[in-house]
Amino acid sequence: MEVYPDWNFRENIAIHPCECNKKCGNYVLYVKACMAHVRNAPEQELIDIASWDQSDLYDLFANIDEVLSVEYKRDELEKSFNKKIKNPKKINKKKEEN
């Protein structure tokens, strides 16, 4: 993905190189504490959740792509279903044609 959203997509979730990235090659996932399953974490701060190497990042990307593809298809299905419901005349017209 080379086109990034115009909102602050690092506000709640961020991935940054590890402090010793040159040595370990890892990246660190940060999420806002209120999104993490961590007790007593400061609500509005990004907290360090996981370290990943490059192959883990590809796995993450594939996982997210799969989930978003399903969500996208569901949205499209719901939109087309709702269009049919909102336009009963069209549906009735089709019934009359048959």
Does residue number 22 form part of the binding site for Zn ion (CB under 5 A)? no
Of the residues 14, 26, 35, 47, which one makes contact with Zn ion according to CB under 5 A: 26
Cβ proximity to Zn ion, 26 vs 32, nearer residue: 26
Q: Which residues of 33-69 are buried (b: 16+ CB within 10 A; e: fewer)?
A: beeeeeeebeeeebeebeebeeeeeeeeeeeeeeeee
Of the residues 9, 10, 13, 24, which one makes contact with Zn ion according to CB under 5 A: 24
Residue 36 Cβ vs Zn ion, minimum distance, rounded to whole Å: 20
Distance CA 47, CA 36 (A): 8
Does residue number 20 form part of the binding site for Zn ion (CB under 5 A)? yes
